[in-house]
Amino acid sequence: MSVMQCPTCKGTGKVASPDTLGGRICMLRDARGLTVADIERGTGLSHATLWRVIKDSVCKVETLVALADFFQVSADELLGRKGHEP
């Protein structure tokens, strides 16, 4: 994945980086043609919570699980963990 301007963050200078949780969420959203409102409705997360995750890449475990379930990916994938053995 390459670094790209996040449509949600236009004007803020933030870019969607595959190295951050927020960047991976933006990339999944864009790849699936979703809006922030779609994610909010699908996860039950508030706009403020979702924005905080995208902007700061920080969230509670419950939020991470809701996002992973919504995107049908593992929490490890959202966190950028690949090939990690416990």
For residue 8, the model assigns a pLDDT of 53
Ranges assigned E (strand) in the chain: 4-5, 15-16
Helix (H) or strand (E) holding 64: helix 61-71
CB atoms within 10 A of CB 32: 11
Is residue 86 in a domain?
Answer: no
Q: The whole model's pTM is what?
A: 0.79
Q: Which domain holds residue 10?
A: 4-79
Check which CATH number belongs to the domain holding 55 and give it: 1.10.260.40
For residue 6, the model assigns a pLDDT of 56
| pLDDT by position in tens, the chain (length 86) | 444 445 555 555 556 677 889 999 999 999 999 999 999 999 999 999 999 998 887 899 999 999 999 999 999 999 998 765 66
For residue 3, the model assigns a pLDDT of 43
* Residue among 71, 73, 56, 66 nearest 22 (CA): 56
| Total of domains in the chain | 1
